[in-house]
Structure 1
Amino acid sequence: MKFRTRLIVFYLAAAIVSMVIIGAAAWGSLELYKKKTVESQLTDQSNLIFAYIRQVFLFQKASQTEINPDSAKIIAGNLSSGIGQVELYGKSLQLLCNPVEIEEESSYKPDEYKKVILKPALKGDKVFLTKNRVVYYSVPIINNGKTAGVLVIIYRLNLINEYLKNVLSILFTGAIAFCILIVIISIYISKKMVKPINQLVETTERYAKRDFTVLELNRNDELGKLSKSINSMGSQLYEYIGRQKQFISNISHEIRTPLTAIKGYSEFLYDEIAGDPDTEAALTHLKSEAGRLEKLVSELLELARHDSFQGSFVFVKTNFSNLLKDTIEKMENKAAANKLTIDPRISPDVFINADPEKMVQVVVNILDNAIKYSHRGGIIDAEMFTENNNAVFIVKDFGIGIPKEDMKNIFERFYRASNANGITGTGLGLAISNIIIEKHKGEIRIESNENKGTSVKIVLPLM
């Protein structure tokens, strides 16, 4: 998951968790408010009923201390239901009246109803219970300091629950809108935050490709400090690599001059001292090693020129078909010396924009590798054709191949496969060829299986 996506998910998760906590707290507060409001309203209604009941008791005999059926009828005839269903019970807990006939399906069984609703009120306690969205409120009816009966108000919560349901719907809609807003804001914030990080990543990727362009990041925070550190590191790397390249270039030039002399004198001595097998063998070995060192120095100088951007390319319209045919023909002698056959299949008149000299160097490197790493008596396929507006050149051998673990390093300088011991080479040919092909806006692809062979594919844009 990308860093920017992580930021958006983090912001959204934080917002959702916050809303869940706030929503739970708000819902709890609403439930508490509902309970207190209903209880307050029922208390007010019971107070009004008690005031009326006291008036009824004034007209009764002084000796009468409880509600009787006659008193209940008087109360029932003048009592409104208020916000809930009202029930009056005598001291023996018999129902004396239900002033407003409302069919209520009780949540309690008769015995349970008496136990939890009526008896506590008869003992002087106030009862406030909720079950199945119905509130049961019971209080004792007091006359002259004695309990005269029980008043029960039954209130259904349908209306207030519907109201709270609407409030919850509004809150839920608001939460969704808030989440959408958070996502939009987090996308904007993450874009602003990730932009300098992407610039830092791009800079390090450029450094990996030896492009030490300075990163301009005008910030005073930690990212600004990091960009300054990266720029400082890039400057030091650039200076170090520059000194290294200069050293290689200088030492290569210094070696090349005496090496040329050694090679020339060895050839002269070889011609002068003919007929002595031992001397001829020593001079042949000296000449061969001098030639190998000369090739290494030439390749080092070639790399130094490319690294210092001094390697000049002269691009012209080039007949790639003829260039390949001529180069393959020149390499056939070397292939024959190793008892190998090159099988060319070249499409005619294919033109590319190229530096012919550099392109010959690439083809020679690829064919030379195929010859060196092939088994004697084998065949090397060399094919060129056009595909998707590109010229495609493929060299395939059936030699020792490249181990799988070495494939990722084949374009590294001086790197040689682990199974190439005993075979002469510098490990620079593919590195140089890759640089040249990149300059031609092309691509080299290599596929290989150990002990089965290697296929090198070069793709170049057509004219």
Structure 2
Amino acid sequence: MSVGRGVALVATGTQRDVTEHDVASLAVLGEVAGSVGGRIVQGDALAMTASRLRASNDELAGHLRDRDDAVASAVHELRNPLASVRAYGQLMARHLSAVQRQVVQLDALIEDLLHMPGGSPPRPLALETVDLAREAADAAARLRVSLPDTQVRVAAEPAVGPLTARVDPVRFAQVLDNVLGNAAKFSRAEEPIDVRIEHRAGDVVVIVTDRGDGIAAEDLDRIFERYTRAAGSQSVPGAGIGLAVSREIVTAHGGRIWAESAGSGRGSTFTIAMPATAAATDTSAPEGASAR
């Protein structure tokens, strides 16, 4: 009998007529079986799709890891030249600043030529409150640029207040350049030059010590005279003017400069003493006491 649906026939061993109820029941069973079979097929398809998705996800994760590794490597490799560029830029900025200061100093020297004896009156000092520790550090930096093999060590007296004095910064830079350059000329490149800045008896004192040729006792004061050089220094280039000019500048500021040496071959110490500013003097003295 056909009713337009698939019918499952079940053998029971007993012969009887098939009723409409039997047909309906068998039709329901067929629909259930078909639905279950379809869901099994769909489940297999979903499982296959999920497996493919997992494989695709693993492949994508691998690509992302490769990309992250490539980016990390690129960043690392870019940072090295970037650090070098930054360092060179900072070095160029420092050198440019030194060049600008040297231009100002050259301009001041040209002005001095215009005020030679018989001409205009001497140019007055342009006094400012200046940190002498910084000035010494800048002078050391300039010396390292002009003489790269020279070792200059700068140390300031710690935690005792400002190391300031009223000076003409261009003129004082000229003094420091002369004294440090003189120390470098008479020292071996491997021997360090020490620069110390401290308070002493109401002054801010810059002390330059080298381990060079030394100075004979009879020349310690004479080297500050124009066109005078220490005995045995003829092999070193120089005109015997720098230290004389330095003393003239320091004296014009109300300061003092002198040299000390234990003798030939035992190095020299040059001391520049400049009157400290009131703030520097007050800070360096104990409370309730006058400055030393």
TM, length-normalised to structure 2: 0.52
1:345–1:438 Cα change, 3 Å: same
- Counterparts of 1:457 and 1:429 in 2: how far apart (Å)? 15
Is contact 2:154-2:194 (8 Å) kept?
yes
Q: Which amino acid in the other structure matches residue 320 of structure 1?
A: L
- Counterparts of 2:264 and 2:120 in 1: how far apart (Å)? 36
Please state if 1:317 is matched with 2:116.
no
1:438–1:357 Cα change, 3 Å: same
- Counterparts of 1:346 and 1:308 in 2: how far apart (Å)? 39
Match of 1:346 among 156, 165, 168: 156
Which residue number corresponds to residue 140 of structure 2?
328
- Counterparts of 1:306 and 1:423 in 2: how far apart (Å)? 33
Please state if 1:443 is matched with 2:240.
no
Q: Which amino acid in the other structure matches residue 142 of structure 2?
A: K
Deviations 1:124-162 (A, max 9, x none): xxxxxxxxxxxxxxxxxxxxxxxxxxxxxxxxxxxxxxx
Structure 2 residues not aligned, in runs of 5+ = 1-105, 278-292
| Identity score, percent | 28
- Counterparts of 1:404 and 1:444 in 2: how far apart (Å)? 16
2:258 aligned counterpart, secondary structure = strand
1:410 aligned counterpart, secondary structure = helix
1:300–1:445 Cα change, 3 Å: same
1:299–1:341 Cα change, 3 Å: farther
Deviations 1:250-282 (A, max 9, x none): xxxxxxxxxxxxxxxxxxxxxxxxxxxxxxxxx
Higher alpha-carbon Rg: 1
Q: CA deviation at 1:323?
A: 1.7
Deviations 1:84-126 (A, max 9, x none): xxxxxxxxxxxxxxxxxxxxxxxxxxxxxxxxxxxxxxxxxxx
Q: CA deviation at 1:312?
A: 2.4
1:319–1:420 Cα change, 3 Å: same
TM, length-normalised to structure 1: 0.33
Higher-RCO chain (CA-CA 8 Å, sequence separation at least 6): 2
Q: CA deviation at 1:350?
A: 1.4
1:444–1:306 Cα change, 3 Å: farther
Which residue number corresponds to residue 276 of structure 2?
462
Q: CA deviation at 1:432?
A: 0.6
- Counterparts of 1:371 and 1:344 in 2: how far apart (Å)? 14
Is contact 1:321-1:347 (8 Å) kept?
no
Is contact 1:319-1:352 (8 Å) kept?
yes
Whichever structure has more helix as a proportion of its residues is: 1
Which residue number corresponds to residue 286 of structure 2?
none
Match of 2:116 among 304, 311, 324: 304
1:392 aligned counterpart, secondary structure = strand
- Counterparts of 2:189 and 2:232 in 1: how far apart (Å)? 17
Structure 1 residues not aligned, in runs of 5+ = 1-293
Which residue number corresponds to residue 397 of structure 1?
210
1:305–1:440 Cα change, 3 Å: farther
What is the total number of aligned residue pairs between the two structures?
166
- Counterparts of 1:300 and 1:358 in 2: how far apart (Å)? 11
Is contact 1:404-1:450 (8 Å) kept?
no
2:116 aligned counterpart, secondary structure = helix
- 1:235-314 residue pairs with structure 2 within 5 A? 301=113, 304=116, 309-314=121-126
1:304 aligned counterpart, secondary structure = coil
Deviations 1:170-229 (A, max 9, x none): xxxxxxxxxxxxxxxxxxxxxxxxxxxxxxxxxxxxxxxxxxxxxxxxxxxxxxxxxxxx
- Counterparts of 1:444 and 1:327 in 2: how far apart (Å)? 17
Is contact 2:132-2:197 (8 Å) kept?
no
1:319–1:302 Cα change, 3 Å: farther
Task: Kindly report the root-mean-square deviation, in angstroms, between the aligned alpha carbons of the 2 structures.
Answer: 2.7
1:378 aligned counterpart, secondary structure = coil
1:308–1:443 Cα change, 3 Å: farther
2:269 aligned counterpart, secondary structure = strand
Deviations 1:346-382 (A, max 9, x none): 2473111110000000000000000001023111010
- Counterparts of 1:417 and 1:311 in 2: how far apart (Å)? 31
- Counterparts of 2:270 and 2:118 in 1: how far apart (Å)? 23
Q: CA deviation at 1:446?
A: 0.7
- Counterparts of 2:142 and 2:110 in 1: how far apart (Å)? 20
1:313 aligned counterpart, secondary structure = coil
